[in-house]
Every structure is written in C-alpha cells, then in structure tokens.
Amino acid sequence: MPTRGSLASYLSSAARQVEKRQLAHFRTAVGDQAGELLVPAVQEMTRGILRSGHEMVWEPRDDVAGRLMRQLLEDRGPPRRLAAHVELEIAKAFTLATDEMAQRCFELARLALPKPPGEAVARYLQRLGRCYVAGFFPECIVICRAVLEKALLERFERERKPLPPVPPGKSEMLARLSKAVDLGWLSRQQLNDGRTVNERGNKAVHEGPHMVADALDTIRLTLGLLRALYA
C-alpha cells in the first residue's frame, strides 16, 4: 500500500504527463505563449473547476485559465485529457488522507448495528457512513437527525400506533420521542440522547454547517437509539 508521500509523488508525476499532452493539444489556442502560459493556465483552470464543483460558485475570469474554463464548461462534456487532469486535482484534494479515512472506518465498524434496520433507514445509514469516512462531519449530524426521525416513524408503523398530536409551534420529533418513552420503546436516558441528536441536527441546518463539531458522538447516540427502536 503506498504511503501518503508516495501517493502524492505518483499523482504529481502523473499530472506532469497530463500537462505535456495538454500543452501539445492547446498550442494553437494560445500561440507563441504556449510554453509560458498553458501549463499554469490549465492547472489554474482545473483548480477553478474543482472549486466550482465543490463550492457551487464560479466567478468568470477573462484570463487564459478563465477562457479555457468557460469553453470547457460550455461543451457537452469535458475531453478525456482535461477530465483526467481534474480527476488528479480531485484526488489530491480529497483522497490523500486515506489513513485518516481508514481510521474513521474502524470507528464506525465498532458502532455498527447487530442487524439491518428498515430499508429506508438503511439507505440513510449508508449515506451517513460515506459522509463520515469522507470527513463531511456537519452533514453527518444532519443525516443523524433524519435517521432518527425515520426510525421513529417506522417503529410507530410497525406497532400500528398513531403518531402523537403536536401542539402548534412544538417539535414533532420531541413529541414522538416522548411518546416512545411512554410506550416503553426508549428509556429516559435515551430520550435525552434523542433530544441531543435533534438539537445538534437543528443547529447544523439552521445555524450554519460548522456549528456542531462532534460528529462521531452524534453517530454513537443515533445508533444507540436505533438499537432500542429495532429491539
């Protein structure tokens, strides 16, 4: 298995080979300045595409990189030689910390449920796992809240119990958690855990994606609640 350093060296070497092919392909587009402008322009263009795809914002520019990027994005699909370079930039930006991603896999494996939940909850859990391994921690907390909400609904449906009435302005989630305690599905401590998951999820949605940092603890609380709801 390559180390982080060797992987970075490999990507750097591969990127240089891609740049050579791009230099030949675009020489006529930039004329005599190809040697000076094209390689850094393509590098800047691919970084711009990465930022635009990641942040969903693109500020048009009128330099060589901007013109190349505009032309590329107006095409039906990126040529393979450019798509390959974007792939390299994505690899450098997102997948060099594979040792940390592996550690997060171990963390989740220690918390895994002993049996599959309902189909809808399982689909949410798959997305939750991918987000946590990739390092998208605020998104994990939002999904945890969705997982808990769906698991509660499934338990009421399985038991053929009506959902509790919710007074105007009150939280449906908290009403359902409290009813689950009354029905013996959750303990008082688990009610507090559910409130914590709900509160953190609301903060992540309404107060900004970086308001809540403890993703692993939120996942732990959520899976503990699922164990009880699927017991």
Question: Distances in Å between the alpha carbon of 220 and those of 47, 71, 181, 197?
Answer: 36, 47, 19, 10
Identify whether residues 83 and 121 lie together within a single domain. no
Contact 177, 163 (CB under 8 A): no
Give the pLDDT confidence score for residue 80 in this predicted structure: 54
**Tens-digit pLDDT string for the chain (231 aa):** 444 455 556 556 655 655 555 555 444 444 444 444 455 666 666 667 666 665 566 566 666 666 666 666 665 555 555 666 666 666 666 666 777 888 899 999 999 998 888 888 999 999 999 999 888 899 999 999 999 999 999 999 999 999 999 888 889 999 999 999 999 999 999 999 999 999 999 988 888 777 677 899 999 999 999 999 998
Domain boundary among 94, 120, 146: 94
Domain extent, residue 11, equals 4-94
How much is the pLDDT for 107? 92
- 72 and 138 in a single domain? The answer is no
Buried b (16+ CB within 10 A) or exposed e, 20-49: eebeeebeeebeeebeebbbebbbbbbbbb
The predicted structure's pLDDT at residue 82: 61
Look at residue 115 in the predicted model and tell me its pLDDT. Answer: 85
Domain count, the chain: 2
Q: Name the domain boundary from 94, 114, 138.
A: 94
**Domain shared by 87 and 139, yes or no:** no
136 with 189, same domain? Answer: yes
The residue among 31, 62, 94 that closes a domain is 94
- Do the beta carbons of residue 81 and residue 17 sit within 8 Å? no
Determine the Cα–Cα distance for residues 123 and 165; give it in Å rounded to an integer: 28
- φ and ψ at residue 185, rounded to 5 degrees: -80, -30
Same domain, 137 and 216: yes
CB count within 10 Å of CB 94 equals 14
In 64-214, alpha helices (H): 64-74, 80-94, 98-111, 119-134, 137-159, 172-182, 188-206
Looking at the fold, whether 70 and 103 belong to one and the same domain comes out as no
The two most distant CA atoms of the chain are separated, in Å, by 78
Based on the domain organization, do 35 and 68 belong to the same domain? yes
Residues 126 and 223 placed together within one structural domain of the fold: yes
Residues 132, 89, single domain; the answer is no
Domain identity same for 120 and 196: yes
Residues 78 and 117 in one domain: no
**Per-residue confidence (pLDDT) for residue 93, from 0 to 100:** 64
Question: CA 70, CA 110: separation in Å to the nearest integer?
Answer: 47
> Same domain, yes or no, for 41 and 120?
no
